[in-house]
């Protein structure tokens, strides 16, 4: 008999919920909704509930057969209390996700950081299988990473390890959503690339991206890919610049942590071969010879589902940790 759990990926631009077979990592069914114009506590809670209910309905699995609900949330979380403490990209703070959703669904709810749980998904069922020491990095609205050390997720002293998006790549440089300046996220995230493209358009530079996005509010990875396919020089320059900064950040990780593997994910990585390939090439060139010769760099195997698969496993992680303590 299969074991089912709900996984929710609460990101900066989307809420993705799925019913997962936690024995195999199979996504039975899922529901997705974009969130970019619907920030705020009440809207986020309502969207989570609606997506979870829709996924359950599509899967045709009774709630009684679902053991738990796990959430990977973009931002700082209190794992023990199940609170989303702060999420600048979602413009919300101190949301008691665990209490609210347990009261609604009447099943145990577990909360983790979105990239941390995506790393868990890749470790158990994706590109991280059989690796004990690796870093999983997602490039999206922001840039975040999860660290695996000795086959377990490493959370750090204060539980905030892995904030690669906020390593400084240009002291005193561009403003970042964290309140700092010169962070990697401000130069290599999809949001940063979007801002750079829009700034070029505002200066009067010609680009096909304007016709591609039409009336849409954001420049997405698919738009960037289409513009590159059409040979757009503005988009090519912006992507190339972003890869320069991202590869510097990755080289720093290789030199400092010396991982067996770096897993890269997010829309830009999965959809744009050019961006992935030049980033990998530059990363190896910038890294020290010995670690760069041995490190493997790969894309996520689970793609968009890394987060919901990992989130669905949070109950198992919680139970395993309790057994270790006892």
CA 203 – CA 220 distance, rounded (Å): 21
323: pLDDT confidence band, cut at 50, 70 and 90? low
What is the pLDDT averaged over residues 11-18? 87
**Distance between the two ends of the chain, CA-based, in angstroms?**
28
CB atoms within 10 A of CB 262: 21
Which pLDDT does position 36 carry in this prediction?
Answer: 55
- Tens digits of residue pLDDT in 206-239: 999 989 988 767 888 999 999 999 999 999 999 9
What is the edge-to-edge ordering of all strands in the sheet holding 14-21?
26-34, 14-21, 4-10, 66-73, 109-113
**Is there a common fold for 4-119+305-325 and 129-300?**
yes
Cα-flanking dihedrals φ and ψ of residue 161, to 5°? Answer: -65, 150
Q: Are 218 and 13 in contact (CB under 8 A)?
A: yes
Which pLDDT does position 12 carry in this prediction?
Answer: 74
Which pLDDT does position 258 carry in this prediction?
Answer: 96
* Predicted confidence (pLDDT) at residue 88 exceeds the cutoff of 80: no
CA 84 – CA 231 distance, rounded (Å): 42
Domain 129-300 is found in CATH 3.40.640.10: no
- Tens digits of residue pLDDT in 115-165: 999 999 999 999 999 999 999 999 988 899 999 999 999 989 988 899 999
Higher local confidence (pLDDT), 304 or 324:
304
User: Of the CATH numbers 3.40.50.970, 3.30.420.40, 3.30.479.10, 3.50.30.30, which one belongs to the domain with range 4-119+305-325?
Assistant: 3.30.420.40
Which pLDDT does position 326 carry in this prediction?
Answer: 43
Which pLDDT does position 208 carry in this prediction?
Answer: 94
Which pLDDT does position 260 carry in this prediction?
Answer: 97
19: left (phi over 0), alpha (psi -120 to 50) or beta: beta
Residue 289: Cβ-neighbour burial (10 angstroms; 0-12, 13-18, 19+): exposed
Kindly report the pTM of this predicted structure. 0.91
CB atoms within 10 A of CB 155: 17
- Tens digits of residue pLDDT in 257-294: 999 999 999 989 999 999 999 999 999 999 999 999 99
- Tens digits of residue pLDDT in 167-181: 999 998 999 988 899
The dihedral sign for the CA sequence 316, 68, 8, 102: negative
Which pLDDT does position 39 carry in this prediction?
Answer: 58
**Residue corresponding to tokens 């968009």:** 304
Beta bridge partners of 32: 16
Percentage with pLDDT > 70 across the chain: 95
* Predicted confidence (pLDDT) at residue 1 exceeds the cutoff of 70: no
Return mean pLDDT, the chain: 91
Higher local confidence (pLDDT), 228 or 89:
228
**Domain boundaries of the chain, sorted by first residue:** 4-119+305-325, 129-300
């Amino acid at each position: 008999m299969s074991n089912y759990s709900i996984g929710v990926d609460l990101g900066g631009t989307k809420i993705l919920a799925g019913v997962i077979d936690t024995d195999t990592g199979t996504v039975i069914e899922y529901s997705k909704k974009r969130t970019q114009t619907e920030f705020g506590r009440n809207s986020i809670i309502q969207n989570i509930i609606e997506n979870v209910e829709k996924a359950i309905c599509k899967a045709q699995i009774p709630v009684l057969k679902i053991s738990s609900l796990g959430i990977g949330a973009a931002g700082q979380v209190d794992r023990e209390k199940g609170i989303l403490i702060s999420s600048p990209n979602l413009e919300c703070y101190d949301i008691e996700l665990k209490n609210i959703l347990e009261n609604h669904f009447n099943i145990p709810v577990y909360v983790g950081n979105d990239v941390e749980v995506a790393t868990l998904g890749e470790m158990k069922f994706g590109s991280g299988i059989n690796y004990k020491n690796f870093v999983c990095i997602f490039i999206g609205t922001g840039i975040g990473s999860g660290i695996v050390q000795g086959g377990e997720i490493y959370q750090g002293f204060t539980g905030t390890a892995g904030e690669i998006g906020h390593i400084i790549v240009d002291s005193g440089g561009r403003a970042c959503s964290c309140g700092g300046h010169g962070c990697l996220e401000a130069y290599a995230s999809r949001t940063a690339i979007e801002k750079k493209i829009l700034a070029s358009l505002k200066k009067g530079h010609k680009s096909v991206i304007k016709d591609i996005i039409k009336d849409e509010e954001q420049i997405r990875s698919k738009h960037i890919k289409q513009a590159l396919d059409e040979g757009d020089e503005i988009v090519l320059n912006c992507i190339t610049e972003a890869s320069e900064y991202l590869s510097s950040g990755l080289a720093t990780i290789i030199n400092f942590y010396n991982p067996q593997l770096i897993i890269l994910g997010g829309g830009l990585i999965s959809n744009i071969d050019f961006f992935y390939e030049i980033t990998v090439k530059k990363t190896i060139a910038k890294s020290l010879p010995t670690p760069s010769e041995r490190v493997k760099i790969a894309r996520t195997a689970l793609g968009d589902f890394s987060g919901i698969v990992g989130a669905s496993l949070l109950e198992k992680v919680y139970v395993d940790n309790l057994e270790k303590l006892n």
